[in-house]
Structure 1
Amino acid sequence: MAISLNVYLVTDGNGKEAVAFYKEVFNAEVLAIQTFGEGPSSPDHPIPPEAKDRIMHASLQIGGSVLMLSDTFPGMPHVIGNNISVTVNTDTPDEAKHIFNKLEDGGEVKMPIQETFWSPAYGMVTDKYGVQFQISCTPGQA
């Protein structure tokens, strides 16, 4: 079983600025950066113009760790204190679901674990201690 944990920051529309800042501060390598406008589109859920340039996901290699970051979607609240979560990356969907189900016990599901365009199993949950987790299956990257 391979698992890795990373810090995930949420910014309020200034994600590109934050990526540049952390790249400089930590001499980091930007591994990935994608805006909401670059993601898949759906006529059922169109991306509003004010969201197109916001960061949907970015990751930076800092030594042996990866810092992840995204902007809030326009209209979603940005609450200081709730803008940091722990990401749990597993090699298999079964591992991801097992961990998610354990964290869900006594906690609150923010997004049910499900297949997304970037992961065969991804979900968000706040555990019974108030810690926010993002669970993701990333085969070969955990």
Structure 2
Amino acid sequence: MYVQPYLFFNGRCEEAIHYYEQHLGAKVNDKLRYKEAPPSDGPAANANGEQIMYSNITIGDTVVMASDDCVNQETKFQGFSLSLTVTSEAEAERAFAALADGGQVNMPLGQTFFSPCFGMVIDRFGVNWMVIIPPQQ
């Protein structure tokens, strides 16, 4: 058993996937649009057919699922962060800058008592991220 993040976007899932591909090296494993689903009388019946019903991407070694939420139009990413573990300060700076572009820095990258390089940012899509270099063991 394992826990897998599933992110719901407000009509910006495709944009987010593309951004993560360009800036975090994400790889798209699968992507389905609402218009590709069989006809339904459930919540998806009123969804925009061009929006993403399901996607599966890999960022580093982690699989993240994402879609445009057809039920809650005011989805917010609250109460969690995705933690991006990197191996060098240059990689941390590059990833942090990409995530901060159009977003909000909550804690700039810097050395902490638990990491040689750590920072917190909310990206342009509202997803909370922590970028960290693990401490040397």
Q: Compare relative contact order (CA 8 Å, sep 6+) and give the higher one, 1 or 2.
A: 1
**Could you say which structure has the larger radius of gyration?**
2
